[in-house]
Structure 1
Amino acid sequence: MSIELIAFSKALIVVPITLLPILNPIAIAPIFLSMTGPLEQAVATRLAKRIAINCFFLLMGALFIGSHVLDFFGISLPIVRVAGGIVVAMAGWRLLNDNGQDKLHSSVEASANTWSKVELRQHSFYPFSFPLTVGPGTIAASITIGTELPTKPIDWLLTGFASALGVLLTTVSIYLCYRYARNLERFLGTVGATVLMRLSAFILLCIGIEIGWTGLSALIEELKLH
């Protein structure tokens, strides 16, 4: 096996292996269902597709230009982790303590099924694509992968193409998990889906705290060095 093929395969595998455990779309799927309510299946499918497309461009942007954007604004990765961890933790806390699910479902049922294509794109980005699916931890991980791309043009093109395919595989996984989330709900039943949703919300809260603490720890280490 040639060196180029090994590098291509490694880049292709590294992206999904690194990002999927952080994204964890299987655990987020019950939260997606809870936030969308009783959508018609056709609308839910379009929404899942739109979220996957949004996530693809978010991950691609973080992978290839994320480090340059941070450098331009003078923002460090620890700061991104702290700020993003707060956002994710707040989302998990709201879902964990939300007792108005029926009201939310009724509101979504009354409006979401009649969303136009433009409205669907608008609502699919926040909070579904960001920060619920692609959160700060995922963005930070994507930026880190991007900083490790080779600088030699030919190697960069080869590895970059493989990484882009890895992002595509990752977003296809997101689409499948959201697309068939309702099947999981039917399998679990009402009580099981509610328990899984609350558990997922708690995990989301913990992930947010973990992301924030990782960033805060890095900032504390930087202070010690100074």
Structure 2
Amino acid sequence: MIESLISDILFGFTGLISIINPFSVAFVFLDRTPTLSDEARRQLARRIAINAFFVLLVAFFAGTPILHFFGISMEALRIGGGLAVAVAGWQMLNAPEAAPREARDPEVRQSVAESGTSKAFFPLTVPLTTGPGSIATAIALNANRTHRLSDWVVSGIASVVISVLVMFVIYYVYSRAARLSNYLGVEGTRVAMRVSSFLLLCIGVQIILTGLTGFLTPIAALRAAP
């Protein structure tokens, strides 16, 4: 039982972290909070990490019933969520550089801080951090959960531990995004942000293509059938 629990935790954690990719999204987070102080950015990172924790818990324990209740297929989740991610990446890729005055003007700083706080859940948590890929992965990890009490307990404990580990990684990386930016320098940060934005766009398109493939494959199989 312990070996199965550890295996489930390692498998789920590595899978979700590779999909969420907080190290790349940290530059997106930094781009969305350009004039926040380090303390304000840490508070926002904490809020996003906590939000991500609850989003993953809901996906783990209630994702499949919620999708069934609303009649939403996994393909529709991927297509809709991938579109939101792709649009966010496109907007950031074409966003102009922030004016230097914005970093010095207290009123602008305050307005941006309030804007960043109001966007802690959408879009900073969903879909930029825990997007359709990670939600679909969390749902898939527990899709075949058996009704045996022992298996359900192991799977439930693994889901909670995975969500906690992902939450801490997101907070640690996001809260230190400015430090990483200082290490890279101004030009290095600009390049990293543009590359991250482009990768976000590509990820969104790939999620859409995955959803379309899952939707069209059964149709193509039916047409090919004699």
Q: Above 0.5 in TM-score?
A: yes
CA RMSD of aligned residues (A): 1.9
User: How far off is 1:112 after superposition?
Assistant: 4.3
TM (norm. structure 1) is 0.91
Residue among 211, 218, 224 paired with 2:220: 224
Structure 2: 5+ residue runs without aligned partners? none
User: How far off is 1:162 after superposition?
Assistant: 1.7
- Residues of 1 paired with 2:145 and 2:170: CA distance? 24
Which consecutive segments of 4 or more residues in structure 1 shift more than 3 A? 103-108
Q: Is residue 102 of structure 2 the alignment partner of residue 68 of structure 1?
A: no
User: How far off is 1:138 after superposition?
Assistant: 0.9
User: How far off is 1:103 after superposition?
Assistant: 8.1
Higher helix content, 1 or 2: 1
TM (norm. structure 2) is 0.91
Secondary structure of the structure 1 residue equivalent to 2:218: helix
Query: Which residue does the alignment assign to 1:157?
Result: 153
Query: Which residue does the alignment assign to 2:178?
Result: 182
Query: Which residue does the alignment assign to 1:213?
Result: 209
Q: Is residue 52 of structure 2 the alignment partner of residue 20 of structure 1?
A: no
Structure 1: 5+ residue runs without aligned partners? none
Q: Which amino acid aligns with 1:23?
A: I
Q: Which amino acid aligns with 1:25?
A: P
Residue among 40, 48, 66 paired with 1:43: 40
User: How far off is 1:11 after superposition?
Assistant: 1.4
Residue among 186, 189, 213 paired with 1:193: 189
Secondary structure of the structure 1 residue equivalent to 2:211: helix
User: Is 1:7–1:159's contact at 8 Å kept on the other side of the alignment?
Assistant: no
Query: Which residue does the alignment assign to 2:134?
Result: 138
Q: 1:173 to 1:193 in 2, by over 3 A?
A: same
User: Is 1:34–1:101's contact at 8 Å kept on the other side of the alignment?
Assistant: no
Q: Which amino acid aligns with 2:120?
A: S
User: How far off is 1:110 after superposition?
Assistant: 2.9
Secondary structure of the structure 2 residue equivalent to 1:12: helix
Q: Where does 1:95-134 land on structure 2 (aligned, <5 Å)?
A: 95-102=92-99, 109-113=109-113, 115=114, 120=117, 122-134=118-130
- Residues of 1 paired with 2:195 and 2:217: CA distance? 33
Q: How many residues align?
A: 219
- Residues of 2 paired with 1:101 and 1:190: CA distance? 13
User: Is 1:92–1:201's contact at 8 Å kept on the other side of the alignment?
Assistant: yes
User: Is 2:27–2:192's contact at 8 Å kept on the other side of the alignment?
Assistant: yes
Percent of aligned positions with the same letter in both sequences?
37
Secondary structure of the structure 1 residue equivalent to 2:96: coil
- Residues of 1 paired with 2:99 and 2:26: CA distance? 18
The CA deviation string for residues 187-207 of structure 1, in whole angstroms up to 9 with x for no partner, is: 000100000000000000000
Query: Which residue does the alignment assign to 2:84?
Result: 87
Query: Which residue does the alignment assign to 1:56?
Result: 53
Moved more, 142-151 or 71-80: 142-151
- Residues of 1 paired with 2:101 and 2:51: CA distance? 24
The CA deviation string for residues 65-92 of structure 1, in whole angstroms up to 9 with x for no partner, is: 0000011111110111111111100000
